[in-house]
Chain A
Amino acid sequence: MKILVAVKRVIDYAVKIRVKPDKTGVEMNNVKMSMNPFCEIALEEALRIKEAGKASEVVVVSMGGPQCVETLRTGLAMGADSAIHVSTDTPLYPLAVAKLLCAVASREQPQILLLGKQAIDDDANQTGQMVAGLLQWPQATFASKVALGDKSDVTVEREVDGGLETLRLQLPAVITTDLRLNEPRYATLPNIMKAKKKKISSITPEELKVDIQPDFMILEVVEPAKRKGGVMVSSVDELVDKLKNEAHVI
């Protein structure tokens, strides 16, 4: 069984984000980039399934400019068998990514498509769900436990607002991972060395026959307004006055 894991290259979780002065986006120059933490968890889960003998091959895929290759190398260093780089310079948003993943999955024919639940740069939490819709595959999102069954099925425990929900899905299926699923392994030297020889194949959206033109445009990116300090009022009259004339809520 083949598992396909989609990973995204994002600004490192520990870096303090700064908005560019021209408000066109976030400062990306000279900033440490790494694999999205949820994607790491997804890849770790795929590797564990493979180590348990239930899968034969783990393929990582990432989309974007040439730097994606670094992230794919990390994936290979963790233990993935091969990698696919969908090469494009057009900015990608969740729907485009979902369409591309759909095309890649149709080619690769995996039994499980694993993704992180969301990327820490846009916090969209859309790609997994949309790809499942496009592929017409069952989906289990926010997975905190994944267990493969014998009858070509998988049981997934999800973390939802009300608590935990357990679903059983027929493969092939889409699973998106949440924080408590596992703790990703470190990339060890022997694997890093082996990773150098593993294959990274490159493909373009044109070859996949997918239209990735975004259907919206980002106008402006600004920091959220700084939280103003609280004000102590001295009487009820003053409170009413402030609510009326400053906060405009009454």
Chain B
Amino acid sequence: MKSLSRNSHNWRRLGWAVKRGETIEQAPASLGSARGSSGLLRDEGKGVRKSQSRIVSRALSVSDAKPVVRQIDSWCGCCSSHQRGYGSAPGDGQVYRDKRYAELKDADIVHFRQILGEKGVVVDRDDLDWANTDWMHKYRGNSQLLLRPQTTQQVSEILQYCHAGRLAVVPQGGNTGLVGGSVPVFDEVILNLGAMNKILSFDEASGILVCEAGCILETLDNYLKSRGHTMPLDLGAKGSCQIGGNVSTNAGGLRLLRYGSLHGNVLGLEVVLADGTVLDLLGTLRKDNTGYDVKQIFIGAEGTLGVVTKVSVLTPPKLASVNVAFLACEDYASCQKTFAEAKQQLGEILSAFEFLDRHSLELVLKHLDGARDPLPDSKESFYLVVETTGSNQTHDKEKLDAFLESALEKELIKDGAVAQDISQAASFWKVREVPGAVYKYDLSLPLKDLYSLVEDMRERLRDSATVIGYGHMGDGNLHLNVVAPSYDDKLVSQIEPYVYERTAAVKGSVSAEHGLGLMKPKAIYYSKPPAAVQVMAGFKDLLDRHGILNPYKPTASVKSTKTFGTPTFDVTICRSDETPLQTKLKVKFEQMPLLV
């Protein structure tokens, strides 16, 4: 076997094909490798990939661990599609239901009814539909049971039972996630916290709010508004998303620039661990340096380390003077300079700095009802939404005027409009609500590289799709969307893993704020070194050794191998007549893209 290189045409010439649907040896650290009946992850209508070439990834294992056969499903048609292995949106390849999780039995339902009463247990198929499908209607699970606890004690009892009985559980809040993290993959029991929606206390002097995890963000915001405060985060889904989910996904949103991330604003959590232990970290102290700050590991863990049941959050005062400006720039470099200028001149009152390109604007105007172009006469390529929040109208207006004047003079911006009242401000923000496209990528990149990726992608895809870019420029977060008439594997192969490789090359993040959810399990490696992932696996082992919380998802699936070596894979490649040509090829992870 010649060295594995991109000259995979060698293989084609020799007519190599690989076995289809082969049995896999299970290593203890494998994920979802048992053959199961339910394998499909998404709605039939949305382009289920029955494609042939897919690298079915099994477990990671360090070379001295029990070998795992890496199976390549079948022949891959074109040379360049080593990318095929990192297939389209929902979890790459075929994931099979892990046999080690128990199947739901009637006795279980009876037990849950005892804990929760009739109302807390939902088994009706139609009612379950909503909970089984995600916000974007891209992922659909097959759970038979939804539980709605009302107290932490009930959550603890449920998890205790599930842990003992090896029942897989999916914690769920508002189910507004964009990466399929809040819905079951197979028949996991859905633990929905929506019924735990009490606000427990609010201290006006310090602004510290304590509430249950099922409180809807908008409800909390309204409660705080009448008390002179506001939630430190704001996102499009605020009417439905719950604070527990926000915390578990470390949600970002529009105000991160001003108020920082949840890691800074969450002062305490009450978490129920996989075995039912209630971990009371619900402090309301601004400063507490006694020991490790354990709550931080749960923020952003996507429900894989514990179920958040109560949250204590530091809320900023609600300031009355809000100004929004919509600015037009000629090119991305001007946008960057405008940002620098804004930080300098607006200083502490800057509360949001968003950008969108011309294509995004056109998409919004075409598809969003009631969206109005703030600058109909301007034909620039980039638009910025800049918001200031402060306590003094006159002072803020002056600063804003000074900034705008200087930006215009220096020709950083070509045109702009300033909202004169709240409804105008709302209409500027509406324009920033770009409707989701078929393929979405949420990336963190260094500011100077933020837009070049969009341009390169546009060049790469040319006529096959429209590429739009917009996002939280202030946070270095790009939302790269590819608009295509339908799901198309060929298109995906052009996008991935190119977009991830480019992001990794500049040390960016392949998921800035949306989380990993059901993303390809290996995607994390584009942004985190294997050693870090191993540490994460250590936490998972410690806090959920049976792996019942949110299984099958990358954040959950990395199992500890207790060593810190570079993971390698064992590969089997066979002839079309099924005689294996080479077995136990040890391929280091870095060489993975070279296969096929």
Contact = CB atoms under 8 A, between A and B. Distances in A.
Interface string B384-408: 0000000101100100010011001
B401 A192 contact: yes
Contacts of A37: 421, 423
A32 B421 CA distance: 8
A113 to B, nearest CB: 22
Interface in A63-85: 70, 74, 77-78
B420 A34 contact: yes
Contacts of A12: 421-422
A190 B417 CA distance: 9
A14 B426 contact: yes
Given A192-B401, A192-B404, A186 B374 contact: yes
A249 interface: no
Nearest to A73: B397
Interface in B462-488: none
A223 B525 CA distance: 59
Nearest to B421: A34
Contacts of A183: 372
A31 B419 contact: no
A234 interface: no
A187 B374 CA distance: 9
Given A189-B408, A189-B413, A32 B401 contact: no
Contacts of B225: 16
B144 interface: no
B422 A189 contact: no
B254 interface: no
A57 to B, nearest CB: 22
B404 A15 contact: no
A124 interface: no
Contacts of B415: 188-190
A14 B420 contact: no
Contacts of B326: 186
A83 to B, nearest CB: 15
Interface in B417-434: 417-424, 426
Most B-side CB within 10 Å, residue of A70, A183, A186: A186
B480 to A, nearest CB: 29
Q: Identify the interface centre among B225, B413, B417: most chain A CB within 10 Å of its CB.
A: B417
Contact of A32 (B372, B394, B416, B422): B422
B423 A35 contact: no
B209 to A, nearest CB: 20
Contacts of B261: none
Contacts of A196: 401
A240 interface: no
Contacts of A189: 327, 404, 408, 413, 415-418
Contacts of A152: none
B585 interface: no
Contacts of B349: none
A30 interface: yes
A186 B419 contact: yes
Contacts of A32: 320-322, 393, 421-422
Contacts of B408: 189-190, 193
B375 interface: yes
Interface in A186-204: 186-190, 192-193, 196
A192 B393 CA distance: 17
**Residue among A34, A35, A40, A188 with the most chain B CB within 10 A?**
A188
Contacts of B423: 13-14, 37
A70 B397 contact: yes
Nearest to A14: B422
A15 B375 contact: no
B421 A13 contact: yes
Mostly helix, strand, loop or mixed at chain B's interface? mixed
A186 B424 contact: yes
Q: Could you tell me the dominant secondary structure of chain A's interface residues?
A: mixed
Contacts of A186: 326, 374-375, 417-420, 424
A33 B418 CA distance: 15
Contact of B422 (A13, A74, A188, A190): A13
A35 B391 CA distance: 20
B229 to A, nearest CB: 13
Interface in B421-456: 421-424, 426
B371 to A, nearest CB: 13
Interface string A16-51: 100000000000001111110100100000000000
Interface string B297-335: 000000000000000000000001110001100000000
A95 to B, nearest CB: 27
Contacts of B416: 188-189
Interface in A204-248: none
A47 B372 CA distance: 20
Given A14-B423, A32-B320, A186-B374, A192 B418 contact: yes
A73 B346 CA distance: 21
A16 B227 CA distance: 13
Given A189-B404, A190-B415, A30 B422 contact: no
Nearest to A33: B393
A15 B425 CA distance: 13
A31 B420 CA distance: 14
A207 to B, nearest CB: 27
B375 A188 contact: yes
Contact of A193 (B321, B405, B420, B421): B405
A43 to B, nearest CB: 11
A108 B413 CA distance: 38
A225 to B, nearest CB: 19
A32 B418 CA distance: 15
A30 B417 CA distance: 24
B417 A187 contact: yes
Given A30-B391, A32-B393, A14 B421 contact: yes
A188 B373 CA distance: 12
B417 A188 contact: yes
Nearest to B321: A32
Contacts of A77: 418, 420
Given A186-B374, A188-B375, A35 B421 contact: yes
Nearest to B416: A189
A131 to B, nearest CB: 25
Contacts of A14: 421-423, 426
Given A14-B426, A32-B321, A74-B420, 11 more contacts: A13-B421, A30-B320, A32-B422, A34-B420, A34-B421, A70-B394, A183-B372, A186-B419, A186-B420, A187-B420, A188-B417
Interface of B: 225, 320-322, 326-327, 372, 374-375, 391, 393-394, 397, 401, 404-405, 408, 413, 415-424, 426
28 contacts: A12-B421, A12-B422, A13-B423, A14-B421, A15-B422, A32-B321, A32-B393, A34-B420, A34-B421, A35-B420, A70-B393, A183-B372, A186-B374, A186-B417, A186-B419, A187-B417, A187-B418, A188-B375, A188-B415, A188-B417, A189-B415, A189-B417, A189-B418, A190-B408, A192-B404, A193-B404, A193-B405, A196-B401
Give 7 closest A-B pairs by Cβ, nearest first.
A34-B421, A14-B422, A186-B417, A189-B416, A30-B320, A188-B417, A12-B422
